[in-house]
Amino acid sequence: MSGAGSKKVAVVAGDGIGPEVVESALAVLDAVGAQFERVPVEIGLARWKRTGQAMSNEDLEGLKECDCILFGAIGTPPDPNYKSALLRIRKELDLYANIRPFQSQDLDFIIVRENTEGLYSGLEEVGVEESHTMRVITRRGSERIAEKACDLAACRRMLTIIHKSNVLRSDRLFLESCRAVAARRGVLSEDMLVDAAAYNLVVNPKRFDVLVTTNLFGDILSDEAAGVIGSLGLCASANLGDARALFEPIHGSAPDIAGKGIANPVGAIRSAAMMMEWLGEPEKARRMEAAVQNALACGAKTPDLGGSCGTADVTRAVVEYLKAF
């Protein structure tokens, strides 16, 4: 892929702390010399309050016309019939691989979460006395997420396939498909039940390297993993399809701290770094990560990490490092 210079990036700041952390990520992208056209798109709760719609069909088409999307976080409207705009984007752009790296001083593992099926199928029957959600696992969906996980695991230690096949027969297909892909790719693999994985993530996180799992398990395990490395505010993600991508911190709109200027911007900055890597600018991505690590090491920490810095202080520390080195 050519450099980011001629690229168009849709910027969805969203709600709550979304705009606060996206502003920070954009400042860091400026400081690292990232060049691309920014296309602001309003999606989310504020938009729903204003227009009765969180995202229009035109917005979705607009997103498809951009090279990729930089996303903050959006809130959920208090409407029982609301279907998540973010899930619609993931599904309609076929962003099937949610890559969530977790790094701290002594930990380094990646959760690869299937992003389009499982319990997020959208196939639901809602009644007063009984409601059903269909869990969909397909061979194609399982194989393609396993391929993405193997791309990562091939140059690392091993792959752990996380499932609940002792209870869910649908997970036998997931497990069998992932095992077959790992064997064909020559990737060392093991498997683990999701409840045991949740336990091991807390008591022995170092044992993990690349984890691959289904949609809801991946959602829950990633917030747990964020707790293990220190804060939800540190963690980034890439939602990848074969030709499209969306980059976002793994946290939500955090209404409890929104507007206070204390949101940790690191997850959003790291998401922007993942975007630069995907746009073909790995050196800029590397510098952004080095700047984040330096800022944290120098004590530029928001309250979620026990510090007393604001979002703007952390951003400034990252930007100053980039200007100096």
Q: Which residues bind ligand NAD (CB under 6 A)?
A: 17, 21, 73-76, 86, 232-233, 248, 251-257, 263-264, 267, 302, 304
Kind plus residue range of the DSSP H or E element containing 26: helix 18-31
| 67 noted as active-site residue | no
Query: Considering 91, 120, 148, 301, which one is annotated as catalytic?
Result: 120
Of 78 and 186, CB closest to ligand NAD: 78
Residues engaged in binding ligand IPM (CB under 6 A): 84, 86-87, 219, 250, 252
- Of 219, 301, 313, 321, the active-site residue reads 219
What are the structure tokens assigned to 85, written together? 């705009």
Residues contacting residue 214 through CB under 8 Å, at least 6 positions apart? 113, 114, 117, 118, 119, 137, 162, 163, 171, 174
Give residue for tokens 């076929």.
94
Assess whether 148 carries a catalytic annotation: no
DSSP, collapsed to helix, strand or coil, labels residue 63 as: helix
15 is catalytic: no
Residue pair 177/165 in contact by the 8 Å Cβ criterion: no
In a 13 Å sphere around the CA of 301, the CA atoms on its Cβ side amount to 12
- Yes or no: say if 45 and 17 are a contact pair by the CB < 8 Å rule: no
266-278 helix and 282-297 helix, angle to the nearest 10 degrees: 160
Among ligand NAD, Mn ion, ligand IPM, none, the one that 232 touches (CB under a kind-dependent 5 to 8 A) is ligand NAD
Residue listed under structure tokens 């090491």:
297
| Nearer residue to ligand IPM within complex by CB, 86 or 110 | 86
Query: What is the total count of residues that contact Mn ion (CB under 5 A)?
Result: 1
Q: For the CB of residue 236, give the shortest distance to ligand NAD in the complex, in Å.
A: 11
Q: Which of 82/172 has CB closer to ligand NAD?
A: 82
Place of tokens 């993405």: 148
Radius of gyration of the chain (CA): 19
Q: How far is the CB of 252 from ligand NAD (least distance, A)?
A: 2
Nearer to Mn ion, 117 or 219 (CB): 219
Which among 30, 195, 199, 323 is annotated as catalytic? 195
Rounded Cα gap, residues 241 and 227, in angstroms: 27
Report in angstroms how near the CB of residue 98 gets to ligand IPM at its nearest. Answer: 7
Tokens of residue 215, six digits: 């949609």
Site mask for Mn ion (CB under 5 A), range 210-229, x = bound: ---------x----------
Give min distance, CB of 310 to ligand IPM, in A: 25
Contact partner, 257, from Mn ion, ligand NAD, ligand IPM, none, Cβ < 5-8 Å per class: ligand NAD
Active site residues: 120, 164, 195, 219, 223
Residue ranges in contact with Mn ion by CB under 5 A: 219
